[in-house]
Structure 1
């Protein structure tokens, strides 16, 4: 069948809206009519080829929509179900079989190689040439084919158009706190960067009843949003020494910190601000090969630095939990979003990069 999609044809080039062909779902796959899709930092760094996904490609990996058709063997969803699309995993490696699909041993191949799990593409140009898939979904499109393992069935009593970002950015930030750190009641936490990932972590810190929640960002509008969402303190690095201010606020340093900015100098601050026994979680994804300098003597004081993939979550479990927190008024992630049409994708991307919009969502159709 034919579908309209936003295509990335070359490194750093604007998205182009065009009509392409999409295959029917194969065994274990699902065809989804996309209702909306978030724009994530990862989409933009792939557009710019910091991660070398084959081009041309249809990007987009925060899709939400309605199941149209299922392939042989699919049992978890049926036509008409509302779903959120998340990352792809193999289901058979040691990580997947022990309940850690976010650490799938085939994660890169399934999400960044440009092909589906069987090594072929589901998207094609008018003359039959392949268009690369992304994250096993390619949801900058009116329709997407995804593996059943990408698909999360969700309730129909929450607007479907706001749910897509739960599949990546919001899941990642909140999972850093709720799944990875699991902070103690009353503990202190610092979030470096108040984009959608950082603010999701901040909201999760409030859910976890952290006592001191410090937001760090250079944009005052985002710091104001952080206060609205539960920050107890804010720091603008333009106005003060960040590490010294964190130690002044906390007394001896933070118990936890989360780095979302992808900047090596900020990661250094996230580690240096820790108290003894503190932990830093790295979320920000810089270009491949980026290095950082840390003071080993600082880390020797029982401090930890750890990476994070997709919130250390099982999407089929964690995303419905986040939706329930939203329904209870405890996780108001809808305050982060602004809607655009698919045809406005380049403006939405620019607004995301300049900080005008925290989380752009493209309404499809």
Structure 2
């Protein structure tokens, strides 16, 4: 029998999310029904809700879920009823990138996670009064009291885990940490610059502090975020709201001649360009933040010839089955104090959570049903 539950539905681009009654389909053999305990609010959710990305609306978003397994499909082997789980992105499992351990680069990533709104076969996972809604967002759509989740989206965590603290590991926190560990891979003495000290950026700073990098520079315009960056391991901070001069010149100075790695979490073209121009020879700039489709950034081609690289990266090029458990352990041990960034909001305070995220009052809002 379909599961009736309450979900936050975005009716159209630019509209807020409102709680309504919906029906979830029965779990397919490779799907799991999860009772949501907490779900992080991510900029990607807000970008889609604004209408800037072509996800089918009305629909249910949410992709940083955490909860309790209530039912499993007949082919599911990785989790059982009663298990505590985190929900992350999904992937096909069969393409070359998935088989080689890079599911974030699954050839079906966009339709399965961000744009499709349905299962791969076109069937809906969520309906309202018999009419399909956009769902299957990141294989889950967890802005709801229950979510129908692909097994490949699930990571089991120890019983009694602090699920509201861990929920953002499904996207934001693993994205920042994975960008540093899987792509930059700092060497002894490297200088790493993180543009944007939001949830993704601060996870990147904390991850960099666990590497041999000796200069870790956080860039933001919100003072308390920069203070947090220092606590998380930043050796230098740059406040762009009080910047006197060109950002590239400041970064070249503070890194001692150029950054070996730059992580841009903002998606702001001017900031990414400044980071690219501040690279040392053989340095790498990672484009993590996602602006609306079609946004372009110009680069000096001759400036790339000394081995400088500009790369895009999705979800930290992580395999959730291995990266997320490591992050869970690091959070539990206090070596990545990401729980400091989390503030919880009930579903009916969704608009307040969005406002606090935009203003910088809260680094990582987490919704609880």
Which of the five TM-score ranges fits, normalised by the shorter chain?
over 0.9
1:224 aligns with one of 221, 224, 227: 227
Q: What is the alpha-carbon distance in structure 2 between the residues aligned to residue 250 and residue 181 of structure 1?
A: 16
| Correspondence for 2:207 | 204
| 1:122 to 2:125 alignment | yes
2:166 aligns with one of 163, 166, 175: 163
Q: 1:145-156 maps to which residues of 2 (within 5 A)?
A: 145-156=148-159
Q: Secondary structure at the match of 1:184?
A: coil
| 1:55 to 2:39 alignment | no
| Correspondence for 1:185 | 188
Q: Secondary structure at the match of 1:290?
A: coil
Q: What is the alpha-carbon distance in structure 2 between the residues aligned to residue 58 and residue 209 of structure 1?
A: 42
Q: Secondary structure at the match of 2:67?
A: strand
| 1:247 to 2:249 alignment | no
What is the number of equivalent residue pairs in this alignment? 363
Q: Is the 8 A contact 2:269 2:296 kept in 1?
A: yes
**More deviation, 229-238/244-253:** 244-253
The offset of 1:200, in angstroms, is 0.5
Q: 1:6-155 maps to which residues of 2 (within 5 A)?
A: 6-111=8-113, 112-126=115-129, 128-133=130-135, 134-155=137-158
The offset of 1:157, in angstroms, is 4.2
TM-score, normalising length: structure 2: 0.97
Give the gaps of 5 or more residues in structure 2. Answer: none
**More deviation, 279-288/113-122:** 113-122
Q: What is the alpha-carbon distance in structure 2 between the residues aligned to residue 242 and residue 233 of structure 1?
A: 14
Q: Secondary structure at the match of 1:76?
A: coil
Give the 4+ runs in structure 1 shifted more than 6 A. Answer: none
1:172 aligns with one of 167, 170, 175: 175
| Correspondence for 2:318 | 313
Q: What is the alpha-carbon distance in structure 2 between the residues aligned to residue 310 and residue 159 of structure 1?
A: 22
Q: What is the alpha-carbon distance in structure 2 between the residues aligned to residue 76 and residue 284 of structure 1?
A: 32
| Correspondence for 2:356 | 351
Q: What is the alpha-carbon distance in structure 1 between the residues aligned to residue 213 and residue 365 of structure 2?
A: 28
Q: 1:271-310 maps to which residues of 2 (within 5 A)?
A: 271-310=276-315
| Correspondence for 1:257 | 262
The offset of 1:135, in angstroms, is 1.3
Q: Secondary structure at the match of 2:70?
A: strand
Q: Secondary structure at the match of 1:135?
A: helix
Q: Secondary structure at the match of 1:50?
A: coil
**Can you list the C-alpha shifts for 1:251-281, whole angstroms capped at 9, x where unaligned?**
2111111101111101101101111111001
The offset of 1:113, in angstroms, is 0.5
CA RMSD after TM alignment? 1.0
